[in-house]
Structure 1
Amino acid sequence: MKLVTRHLAHAGLCAALAMVSYGASAQDQGGDGAHSHPFKLTVGYYQYQDDEGKDINLRWQHGDSHVWLGHYEEHAFGGQDRVGADTSYEVTDGLSLQPSVQAATGGFVGGSLNAQVGHAWYGLLGFGRTNLKPYFNLNFDPNDAITLGGGHQFDNGQNWSLFVIHDDRLHTGQTDWHLTARIPVDADRLSLDLMRKSGDSDVGYIKAWALSVTWDFPNWFVRLARDPKQNFSANDTWRVSGGVRF
């Protein structure tokens, strides 16, 4: 089993690197795209009623492409390593595609394809699928789902969006509505994510509100989130995370 999961993780890494290499090459044709701080290291602590979780994630960025490696650990779930990548391709003026892929120990493989249409005003459409293997979901939204929404990029740098993520595979009716805002504050940035969730789960029908607040400094950031019924489970969670860019 360890050999199989190792091969799956290796295959996921190869696919991730291939996808990002292709994306980076396309971006390099249009310019350098290099970042002064290409790496971001994030450490997270999750407080549950009767347990706690810890997570570490290292992400590398080049242009609009990212590759990440991470590990999550908790007593009830155990530990899981993961690797993934995403990138963005400009198909034509006003249309971009964002594919992503991720693999994790335990045999999990998943991916998604999102599209953004427009400029200052834009629409969002997405589709995600996994092989339904065990996975600790750090997106905190259904993975086998469709996404629909839109937003506006203001001249002052603010970006507001409203979108919905809905399970279209497992017949749970799980639906997450997100209202997000990214607000520049001098050299820093405030990010807000207000979520309304509803749907069936193993612990019954769930309705709850969640909120995540992030403050980005030039070289580091902190995030605090309150997420009742995290991932449509019985866990009412406080999440605290922070990281550095280098």
Structure 2
Amino acid sequence: MSTETETPIAPEPTSAASPEAAAAPAAAAPSPERPSRPGRREGGGGGRGPRRDSRRDNSAKEDDSGLIEKVVFINRCAKVVKGGRRFSFSALSVVGDGKGKIGIGYGKANEVPEAIRKSTAHANKHMVTVQIKGDTIPHEVLGEYDGGCVLLRPATTGTGLIAGGGVRAVLEAAGVKNVLTKSLGSKNHIAVVNATFEGLRKLRVAEAYRNALKSEG
């Protein structure tokens, strides 16, 4: 009696992977990332934001309409909330045509460009005409606003604009090129700018003063 033995059937060999599939895992392997230094967030700065001095732009800029737009000061305010700190910005701007027409604006926003846009728009809306004499002022004047006090004195041609900070920004926008100034009060930018503005509004040329006397008489 013969016994039959069953030979096991080997499974069909699977097709070899293509070279592209074999190279895929190597290509998909993530590259080692550079470890970040402790105490820093994405974007740098450690969450403190840019320094106040780096955001100050004292350079005059002339737009398409011929107006001189000048950013005097940008302030940052931080509000502490549950998730961290929330920043807001306020901008103080001066706008003038360089011919005696000038305006001051103040704007607040959560971003610096939007705050500057609001302040310049506010300045354009509230522009007034001041009386200047050539490239200087007709007489000495003392401007006061809140704690700010600014003295303005006329100067001869060639003296230049002896002023700094917010006083210089206002006088440049108004078109004054020869003047002597001195800040006698608070150093707050808003107070100094508005004191200079009030001083310019007090100016009167001789012809306008005579006409005013004739109209009253």
TM-score (norm 1): 0.28
Q: Which has the higher strand share?
A: 1
Pair member with larger Rg: 2
Q: Which has the higher helix share?
A: 2
